[in-house]
Amino acid sequence: MKATIEYNSRKIEVNISNPIDISIPIDPSKKNVNAWYLEEPKITAEKIGEETIKVSEGAVVNFNSIHFNPHSHITHTECVGHITEEVHSVNKNLKYFIFLAEVVTIAPLFHNGDFMIGVKQLKTALKNKKRDAIVIRTLPNLDDKKSMQYSNTNPTYLSEKAAIYLREKGIKHLLIDLPSVDKENDNGKLLSHNAFWNTAGEIRMDATITEFIYVPNDVEDGEYLLNLMIAPFENDATPSKPVLYKIIK
């Protein structure tokens, strides 16, 4: 099924019957992706008195509660409230959900004992393209990204210069398949978060960072329509379900 939309005065045709979901769900039945030193997420049936509210145990409904942290356990989208004293809500600041995105694949550089994504790599990938969003897939791109235990592993991160470049290029929405755009332990500097949201100047309240995505290997680099769907939590970050649609013309 095809659909045509008008986006910034450009007519774009996409195949809406072939969505590409790049989110990682919470699934306690499997080894769940995890970071930031927390225990596994939990989805458990509630109890009222002595009764467990679960159909398999005689109740008329399933009635589960979920305990998780969006930054640690699931694909999530965050706004500048993640790093500011005032906790701004991503649900209030993300007001549009359809964007023109570029999917790029980056082999991280090894620099001073760390793997990182540098500004030259992004310049090469984006060239003179005008995009609202960038979707970064890092190499190697193995299935174990969906169940990786990242705590105390010093994962790949984005250099501060790369974050500044994306900001200056007008990228409003940064999506990446890592637990953070910053180094796991940088003594609280959060250089790339601060640079992308421009906390030293006019803060970009409507800009977002989405972490813990997974882009399958059969998805080609290039231009896509992105639907950045979020759960309506009034919080600095919320679980999200970014979906890509290949642009036909």
- C-alpha 130/C-alpha 128 separation (Å) is 7
Lowest-pLDDT range, 13-17, 81-85, 145-149?
A: 13-17
- C-alpha 224/C-alpha 230 separation (Å) is 18
Q: Would you give the distance in Å from CA 184 to the centre of its chain?
A: 16
pLDDT tens sequence across 91-121:
999 999 999 999 999 999 999 999 999 999 9
Number of Cβ atoms within 10 Å of the Cβ of 234: 12
What is the pLDDT averaged over residues 78-84? 98
pLDDT of residue 2 exceeding 90, the answer is: no
pLDDT tens sequence across 150-188:
999 999 999 999 999 999 999 999 999 999 999 999 999
pLDDT at 108: 97
End-to-end Cα spacing for the chain:
14
- C-alpha 101/C-alpha 80 separation (Å) is 20
Mean pLDDT over each residue of the chain, to the nearest integer? 96
Helices (H), the chain: 70-73, 90-93, 119-126, 160-168, 191-197
Q: Sign of torsion, CA 45 51 55 56?
A: positive
**Confidence bin at 28 (pLDDT 50/70/90):** confident
pLDDT at 207: 98
pLDDT tens sequence across 179-220:
999 999 999 999 999 999 999 999 999 999 999 999 999 999
Percent of the chain surpassing pLDDT 90: 93
Percent of the chain surpassing pLDDT 70: 100
Q: Where are the domains of the chain?
A: 2-25+74-246
Can you tell me whether residue 191 is helix, strand or coil?
A: helix
The CATH architecture one would assign to domain 2-25+74-246 is: 3-Layer(bba) Sandwich (3.50)
pLDDT at 89: 98
Predicted TM-score (pTM) of the model is 0.96
pLDDT at 54: 97
